[in-house]
Structure 1
Amino acid sequence: MEFNVVEICAGAGGQAHGLHKAGFQHSLAIELDDNACNTLEANYSDWKVARGDVADPAVWNPAHYREKVALLAGGVPCPPFTIAGKQLGANDERDLFAWAVEQVGVVRPRALLLENVRGLSMPRFAGYRQHVLDRLTSFGYVAEWRLLQASDFGVPQLRPRFVLVALQPEDAPYFNWPEPTGNAPTVGEALKSLMGVNSWAGLEDWVAKANKIAPTIVGGSKKHGGADLGPTRAKRAWAELGVDGLGVGNEAPGRLDTFEVGPKLTCEMVARLQGFPSQNEWRFTGKKTAMYRQIGNAFPPPVAEAVGRSILNALEHKGTPAARKQIEHEPVYKALKDANGFVKAEDLQNIGDQVLEIADVELRLSQLGRDFEIDITTKNGVTRYKLGEFKAFTGQDDHDRHATFLKNRARIS
């Protein structure tokens, strides 16, 4: 039996390659960046790759794939949720998470897989996550989030990814999150063969110093400079491993090369730390900066493969079924959503088993107000709240996202 997948925001194929190894076949991959599209086509010449804004009906029509694919997958843009950014969430023109969830109701796949940065797991986005779960429930799916560490799946890098999986009720009991596969190699162990390709005399000393897994590789965006290995804190961590993070190198060290900090990593080295196969098996297209961004923004293939295998096992009903309980992420959001009219803050303090301080309720209301309209009324000195519209782009023709996206199109990646 063939299990087909439509992948949105496919990038340079980290998730695609992992899902392919897990046993899925791509019916379509959609990607905005031309260099990444070229990479996909260079490695899978028989794939159908659609270029452009994934939310543009002229690029693809989700309804054409209704009930025709086993999996809808994607790695939608991370900047709306990244801890290092402004965490604009639903107010960021790059936010496509809510839109992607809405496509489940159109495509009706047997399963959904979306991944993003760890920031989406933070309290700031509890209401956003709860809204996503509620929407998937309304579509008839059983959904669950999980924070996965790439290093648990053999990737020599600190790269936590927040993963959402949803399945139809008949398949969901057979889904189990993948178990860790063992310790990841150190940077030195992973890159020894590449770093020593020119017989570098300092190789063994460098391998001994590069004795930990890598910091999270940051691909960056077109809004900021060229390729380097991240902000100041990350560069310090790289320096402790004997790596110069101020840029990306063109080639491995020569035999007698010496360095004040250490050599720079080449794109091939970064790809190996990201879990991609060798250049002979996976080729990136474009110039160095474009290649580095493709690699740095990717979902590590070994993690995608592990999650993909777990989904495939569920679709094939392998193993012993077990009931899955949906975890509640934001009780204040739920209480407001279920309320008939306006609610006092004091009435939100006792929800289920939780007893919240009024300051905590007010903080949660403030956080919810960044992603949802919150109607507020005050009468006789008493303030009441009502949950309004979700601010995120979910496909609305009149959403601010369209104008902002077009204005910043050349800088979005």
Structure 2
Amino acid sequence: MRKEIAMSAAEHKQTLEVVEICAGAGGQSFGLHRAGFTHRLAIELDVHAAHTLEQNLRRLLKEDGTEAPEDLVRVGDVADPDVWDPDAFEKGEIALLAGGVPCPPFSIAGKQLGSSDERDLFAWAIELCGRMRPKALLLENVRGLSANRFSGYRQAVLDKLHDFGYIAFWKLLNASDFGVPQLRPRFVLVALQPEYAKYFRWPEGRPGDAPTVGEILDDLMRENGWSDEEVDAWVAKANKIAPTIVGGSKKHGGADLGPTRAKKAWAELGVDAMGVANHAPRPDFTPTKGAPGPKLTTKMVARLQGWHGEFADWDFLGLKTSVYRQIGNAFPPPVAKALGEAIRDALLQKGEPIALVETSSTIHDPVYRLLRQQSRPLTAEQIITKLARTGVFMDQPEVERRLNHLSHDFDLQKTERKSGDLAYSLGQFKAFVGQDDHQRHDLFTQYRTKIS
């Protein structure tokens, strides 16, 4: 198996090079490598995650007989021109631009600040795609990005990709459909140049096939002497997939397995989610008072995140809390591999081409699209009337709700009419796309030590 995978990567290395931004500790990297992509460069902000990534990537390339670039992994803010120069690559030179740009701007567990969050790099990554012109783009983020709150943001992304000449696809994928024993929905954007887009098909998962927490961790719970009887009882209780594992952040202290709702779900599985253990339970293990069972080790968390089977061979560097964050913030390698294989096959133009729907006609936010096309401000009543003519029917509360959402990510300009009604026009996208004077620079510098 290992030999076949290595041959696949070596076979395609000349045409399937990848540049990965916000690479983390390598969950996406590992999956893409297994799918046949070879890293030309990876950029990561966190120094510990970057060291983990570099050590493992260099080992994989060596196993493939591929000479790793001297500057394989760079550490720092991916949007800082002193860290790397995207324009050093010729347009179209790279097969795939990939990344897991920061999730907090869109997470329902956060404030959903979107473009106002200094960590937001999604729109910047789209501009980067326009600069580098890779054959394909892969970006993944949390489910929150698929919500109505960000419909205008998504529309702006699709419109920009269309301007750059790409066909774009959005889809919500569940990690558990790809053998990962965890409830981890991810909202994925794939964009390809037209000659490749017609060969792209989303990977097909297998719902219900993921092992339970007990099944996947059975051997690890036994490795330090916990009795067979106790482990068997624990495995029987841990009979579901895990809730979403969160890496936490430097803003919120050490490692634990998530917010209150997640801790309750862990407790039902017999897991103490109040921290991470240094080792598996010993023979004399008894839960601390009030705890539902043992804590997990980072090795166990990694397995729940998809580092098992063909992905088991990955060494994490750093202390426990750092390692936990690296694992918890990662994209599960099996999901990345499935996406990588689908993109690889499209780039190699495998299979029968399919008819494409013109993506510029895909409307995520009709209010955004209408205002973007108008040369004069419109009142809410005028917006309702014009949308109805196109077959889109909204009442005033819905229009006002969408206008409020748009105001967070765009300069929504208001003009008062003589009647007292407000008329709206859509100004600039507030998102950071590389502007020298954007507020992101000051905010990023201010919170640099707490950004993870």
1:243 aligned counterpart, secondary structure: coil
1:7 aligned counterpart, secondary structure: strand
Q: Which shifted more, 151-160 or 336-345?
A: 336-345
Counterpart-to-counterpart distance in 2, 1:213 and 1:234: 12
Corresponding residue for residue 403 of structure 1: 442
Q: 1:320: how far off?
A: 1.3
1:114 aligned counterpart, secondary structure: strand
Corresponding residue for residue 281 of structure 1: 313
- Please, which of 120, 135, 158 is the counterpart of residue 110 of structure 1? 135
1:165 aligned counterpart, secondary structure: strand
Counterpart-to-counterpart distance in 2, 1:317 and 1:43: 30
Residues 333 and 236 of structure 1, relative CA distance in 2, 3 Å threshold: same
2:93 aligned counterpart, secondary structure: coil
Corresponding residue for residue 53 of structure 1: 77
Counterpart-to-counterpart distance in 2, 1:190 and 1:403: 45
2:437 aligned counterpart, secondary structure: coil
Corresponding residue for residue 120 of structure 2: 95
Corresponding residue for residue 341 of structure 1: 376
1:79 aligned counterpart, secondary structure: coil
Asked whether 1:265 is paired with 2:278, we answer: no
Counterpart-to-counterpart distance in 2, 1:206 and 1:136: 49
Q: 1:345: how far off?
A: 1.4
- Please, which of 395, 407, 421 is the counterpart of residue 369 of structure 1? 407
Asked whether 1:121 is paired with 2:134, we answer: no
TM-score scaled by length of structure 2? 0.90
Please provide the CA RMSD for this pair.
1.2
Q: 1:347: how far off?
A: 2.1
Q: How many residues align?
A: 413
Counterpart-to-counterpart distance in 2, 1:44 and 1:203: 35
- Cα offsets for 1:212-260 (capped at 9, x unmatched): 0000001011111100000111111000000000000000011231224
- Please, which of 213, 220, 223 is the counterpart of residue 248 of structure 2? 220
Contact 2:54 2:73 in 1 (8 A): yes
Asked whether 1:358 is paired with 2:396, we answer: yes
Counterpart residue type for residue 277 of structure 2: G
Corresponding residue for residue 62 of structure 1: 86
Corresponding residue for residue 329 of structure 1: 364
Counterpart-to-counterpart distance in 2, 1:363 and 1:410: 35
Corresponding residue for residue 40 of structure 2: 27
Counterpart-to-counterpart distance in 2, 1:198 and 1:54: 41
Corresponding residue for residue 209 of structure 1: 237
Q: 1:277: how far off?
A: 3.4
Counterpart-to-counterpart distance in 2, 1:353 and 1:92: 35
Counterpart-to-counterpart distance in 2, 1:98 and 1:122: 17
Corresponding residue for residue 195 of structure 1: 221
Q: 1:280: how far off?
A: 6.5
- Cα offsets for 1:259-311 (capped at 9, x unmatched): 24100000000000000137961000000000000000000000000011100
Counterpart-to-counterpart distance in 2, 1:120 and 1:224: 22
1:109 aligned counterpart, secondary structure: coil
Counterpart-to-counterpart distance in 2, 1:205 and 1:267: 22
Counterpart residue type for residue 20 of structure 2: E
Corresponding residue for residue 268 of structure 2: 240
Asked whether 1:250 is paired with 2:274, we answer: no
Counterpart-to-counterpart distance in 2, 1:57 and 1:372: 26
Corresponding residue for residue 183 of structure 2: 158
Corresponding residue for residue 22 of structure 2: 9
2:115 aligned counterpart, secondary structure: helix
Q: 1:346: how far off?
A: 1.5
Counterpart residue type for residue 391 of structure 1: K
Q: 1:115: how far off?
A: 0.3
Residues 280 and 172 of structure 1, relative CA distance in 2, 3 Å threshold: closer
TM-score scaled by length of structure 1? 0.98
Corresponding residue for residue 63 of structure 2: none
1:375 aligned counterpart, secondary structure: strand
Show structure 1 runs of 5+ residues with no match: none
Counterpart residue type for residue 77 of structure 2: D
The runs of at least 4 consecutive aligned structure 1 residues that moved more than 3 Å come to 277-280
1:174 aligned counterpart, secondary structure: coil
Counterpart-to-counterpart distance in 1, 2:181 and 2:415: 53
Could you tell me the percent identity over the aligned residues?
A: 61
- Cα offsets for 1:87-139 (capped at 9, x unmatched): 00000000000000001111000000000001001000000000000000000
Corresponding residue for residue 343 of structure 2: 311
Q: Which shifted more, 269-278 or 24-33?
A: 269-278
Q: Which shifted more, 155-164 or 56-65?
A: 56-65
2:352 aligned counterpart, secondary structure: coil
